[in-house]
Amino acid sequence: MLLGTLVYGFINSCILALVALGFNLTFGISGVANFAYGAIYIFSGFLTWILLNSLGLPYLLSVLISILCASCVGLAMYYLIIIRVKGLALSEVMATFGLGLAIMELFRYFDFVGFRYNLPVFFDGSVAIGDVYIDYQRLIIVLIAVGLTLWLYLFTHHTKIGLAFRAIAQDERTALTFGIDSDRIGALSMAFGAGLAAIAAIVILPLGTIAVEGGYEVLINALAVCIVGGLGSTVGILVASVLIGYAQTFTANYLEPHWMMLVSLIAIAVVLVVKPSGLFSHQKELEERI
Partner 1 sequence: MLNVSNLMVFFENALALNDFSMEVKEGQIVGIVGSNSAGKTTLMNTLSGLIIDMRIKEKRRGGERITVYGKVVFNGEDITETKPNDRVKKGIVLCRERHPIFPESDVLENLKIAGYLKKASRVREMIDYVFNLFPALIDLKSKKAGFLSGGEQQMLAVGMALVARPTLLLLDEPLLGLSPMMQNLLVEAVKGLRNNSGITVLLSEQFARPVLPMIDYGYVLENGMLMLTGTGQELMDNPEIKAAYFGV
Rule CB under 8 A: which residues touch partner 1? 83-88, 157, 160, 163-164, 166-167, 170-171, 173-182, 285-289
Instruction: Tell me which DSSP letter residue 159 carries.
Output: S
Q: Which residue number, 64 or 85, has a Cβ lying nearer to partner 1?
A: 85
Q: Which residue number, 88 or 150, has a Cβ lying nearer to partner 1?
A: 88
Residue 217 and residue 219: Cα distance in Å, rounded? 5
- Cβ 170 to partner 1 shortest distance, Å: 4
Which residues touch 9 (CB under 8 Å, ≥6 apart)? Answer: 245, 246, 248, 249, 250
- Cβ 231 to partner 1 shortest distance, Å: 15
Q: Which residue number, 83 or 272, has a Cβ lying nearer to partner 1?
A: 83
Q: Which residues pair with 127 in a beta bridge?
A: 134
- Cβ 163 to partner 1 shortest distance, Å: 5
- Cβ 81 to partner 1 shortest distance, Å: 11
To the nearest 10°, report the CA torsion of 240, 242, 245, 248.
Answer: -80
Which residues touch 179 (CB under 8 Å, ≥6 apart)? Answer: none
Of 173, 165, 170, 215, the closest CA to residue 192 belongs to 165
- Cβ 85 to partner 1 shortest distance, Å: 7
Q: Which residue number, 5 or 283, has a Cβ lying nearer to partner 1?
A: 283
Of 91, 96, 78, the closest CA to residue 184 belongs to 78
C-beta of residue 227 within 8 angstroms of C-beta of residue 278? yes
Q: Which residue number, 39 or 169, has a Cβ lying nearer to partner 1?
A: 169
Per-position b or e across 81-105, b if 16+ CB within 10 A of its CB: bbeebbeeeeebeebbbebbbebbe
- Cβ 175 to partner 1 shortest distance, Å: 7
- Cβ 160 to partner 1 shortest distance, Å: 6
The DSSP code sequence of 195-260 is: HHHHHHHHHHGGGS---HHHHHHHHHHHHHHHHHH-TT-HHHHHHHHHHHHHHHHHHHHHS-GGGH
Q: Which residue number, 156 or 241, has a Cβ lying nearer to partner 1?
A: 156
Q: Which residue number, 164 or 260, has a Cβ lying nearer to partner 1?
A: 164
Q: Which residues pair with 126 in a beta bridge?
A: 135
Coil, strand, or helix at residue 134?
Answer: strand
Residue 251 and residue 249: Cα distance in Å, rounded? 5
- Cβ 91 to partner 1 shortest distance, Å: 8
Q: Which residue number, 166 or 275, has a Cβ lying nearer to partner 1?
A: 166
